[in-house]
Structures are given as structure tokens and as C-alpha cells.
């Protein structure tokens, strides 16, 4: 039975400030530059959620993408959309909201939520020139 990867792309907008509260102001500026603006900035994020598995003979689907979309919307996108990663998102508390940390946090939530589907990869675009990928390792 062939194993195919299916991906659903989703989008959200959010604000964040990238800084380490344990750093001095000078250290934060040197490390994070304009991403350290204390009044926040924001992005249109694009998130690709990939699930891999065999094709169900009865449906021709690996999984119902509409259900995957609803799961991702409920568990992560609906929680962060039009929000502030530093102030509004419980699962980012105490974590610097870089794309790297966001994608790992998303993985921890989505991996069990899509079960028995097997989450195989997440890709998160922060701008048109930067993206991060995570496969759970």
C-alpha cells in the first residue's frame, strides 16, 4: 500500500517581540536587532501541516483534509491568529517566540491531535524570505 504525504497550508497573522528577558537591553539589541522592538511588530505566517500514511481504499484519502484543517484551526491557528505570541498564547509562555520555538510548540500540540494520522513535517514561513521546518526529531 503506497504511503503518500498530504499537506494543508494555513495562514495567520500575529504580533511578537523577540527578546530574552534575562538579557540586558544592550544584549537584546545586539542579539535581536529590530525584532526586539518593545512595542512589538508582526507577520503574516504561512503554516504547512503534513501528514503521511497509506491511502484509504474506501475514500482515496490519506485522511480527510477538512478534518485536518479543523483540527489545526482549533488547536493552533485559532489560538494564535490576530494575537500576540508573547502576551496572548498560553503554550508560548516563558519561551522566546522565534519561528523555531513556535514550530516546536505547534508540533507538540498537533502530533497527538492528528493521531492516528502520522504528522510528518511542519513548515512555517515568517516572511517571504525565511522559513523553518521541523519533523519531530
Active site residues: 35, 82, 126
Task: Please tell me the distance from the alpha carbon of residue 134 to that of residue 107, in angstroms, as a whole number.
Answer: 8
Q: Which of 29, 79, 95, 113 binds a second copy (CB under 8 A)?
A: 95
Of residues 48-87, those binding a second copy (CB under 8 A): 50, 55, 58-62, 64-66, 81-84, 87
CB nearer to a second copy: give 98 or 109: 98
How far apart are CB 75 and a second copy at their closest, in Å? 18
What is the CB neighbour count within 10 angstroms for residue 66?
Answer: 10
The alpha-helical segments, DSSP class H, found in the chain are 25-32, 65-72, 78-80, 99-113
Whether residue 78 contacts residue 51, with contact meaning beta carbons closer than 8 Å, is answered with: no
Among 21, 93, 94, 137, which residue sits at the site for a second copy (rule: CB under 8 A)?
137
Is residue 93 a contact point for a second copy (CB under 8 A)?
Answer: no
Residue closer to a second copy (CB basis): 75 or 98: 98
Give whole-number Cα distances, 119 to 9, 33, 131, in Å.
14, 34, 18
SS3 state at 110: helix
Residue 34 or residue 93: which is nearer to a second copy going by CB? 34
Dist CA 22 CA 81 (whole Å):
27
Residues found near a second copy in the complex (CB under 8 A): 2-11, 13-16, 18, 20, 22-23, 31-35, 37, 39-44, 50, 55, 58-62, 64-66, 81-84, 87-88, 95-101, 103-104, 107, 127-134, 136-137
Amino acid at each position: 500500500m503506497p504511503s503518500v504525504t498530504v499537506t494543508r497550508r494555513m495562514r495567520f497573522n500575529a504580533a511578537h517581540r523577540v527578546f530574552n528577558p534575562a538579557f540586558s537591553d544592550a544584549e537584546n539589541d545586539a542579539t535581536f536587532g529590530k525584532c526586539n522592538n518593545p512595542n512589538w511588530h508582526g507577520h503574516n505566517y504561512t503554516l504547512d501541516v503534513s501528514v503521511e500514511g497509506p491511502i484509504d481504499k474506501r475514500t482515496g484519502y490519506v485522511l480527510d483534509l477538512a478534518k485536518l484543517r479543523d483540527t489545526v484551526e482549533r488547536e493552533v491557528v485559532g489560538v494564535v491568529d490576530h494575537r500576540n505570541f508573547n502576551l496572548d498564547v498560553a503554550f508560548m509562555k516563558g519561551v522566546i517566540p522565534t519561528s523555531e520555538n513556535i514550530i516546536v510548540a505547534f508540533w507538540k500540540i498537533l502530533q497527538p491531535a492528528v493521531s492516528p494520522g502520522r504528522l510528518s513535517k511542519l513548515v512555517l514561513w515568517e516572511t517571504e524570505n525565511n522559513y523553518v521546518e521541523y519533523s519531530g526529531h
